[in-house]
Amino acid sequence: MSSIATAERAPDLTPRSWLEAGQALLRRGGLRALKLRPLADELGVSTGSFYHHFTDFDAYQGRLADYWAGGQVHELLDAIARAEPDPIGRIRRLAQVVRRGGLSRLSIAMRAWADSDVRAAAAVERHDALMLGWLTACVEANGVAHGEAAARAYALMTLGLAKVHAAQLSPPALMEELIALLCAPR
């Protein structure tokens, strides 16, 4: 039997597989980590398989920015809305997903990338508008007037991006306290 026949076949990859792998690299090492060889290594395939899905690395980066700001965030927010009827419960669930999935690190990497790439900058703007709108609607549904709900939503989003290094604070407990504080009606 030939080595080709005995070699384990690489999994069938989709463009989404490559986009998710790119996000993993961004979360761990920022934009400097986002290169073709490490991307292929992340998926355990050759660099040549990349070109089955993307014409070049520039096109890939554009798709990566769009994915983060579009389909991925819509899927996440829709799933949370289906799973959690309570608007403040939705915010809590989002905070858990962000914390557990390292999504703050990804968002910070996207913002750093946005400093040097107009596609990433546009993606950050779209992402933020969507997230702020969603958070505002959740806070409003808890009895807070629109203008104040928008300000509180901004504070919640900023908290999601913050890195607090205080050993005496439990990040989940702190986030819970801040959600309760920022979402409570007057």
- 97-125 tens-digit pLDDT: 988 888 889 999 999 999 999 999 999 99
The single-letter code of the amino acid at 59 is: A
pLDDT of residue 128: 95
Same domain, 176 and 96: yes
Q: Which of the listed residues 45, 61, 77 is the one where a domain comes to its end?
A: 61
Higher pLDDT, 181 or 145: 145
pLDDT of residue 152: 94
User: What is the mean predicted confidence (pLDDT) over 142-150?
Assistant: 95
The CATH number of the domain holding residue 106 is: 1.10.357
Higher pLDDT, 71 or 124: 124
pLDDT of residue 19: 96
Confidence band for 171, pLDDT divided at 50, 70 and 90: confident
Same domain, 51 and 134: no
Quote the number of domains for the chain.
2
pLDDT of residue 127: 95
Same domain, 33 and 82: no
Q: Write out the two tokens for 146.
A: 């629109």
Does residue 44 fall inside a structural domain? yes
Does residue 21 fall inside a structural domain? yes
Does residue 5 fall inside a structural domain? no
Does residue 101 fall inside a structural domain? yes
Structural domain range at position 41: 12-61
Same domain, 79 and 39: no
Same domain, 130 and 97: yes
Same domain, 57 and 136: no
Closest CA to 134 of 177, 172, 95, 175: 95
State how far the Cα of 140 lies from the Cα of 167, in Å rounded to an integer.
Answer: 33
Q: What is the chain's mean pLDDT, rounded?
A: 88
Number of Cβ within a 10 Å radius of residue 77: 18
The CATH number of the domain holding residue 38 is: 1.10.10.60
- CA dist 109 → 52, 56, 65, 117 (Å): 26, 21, 11, 12
| Tokens 């007057």, residue located | 186
Same domain, 47 and 136: no
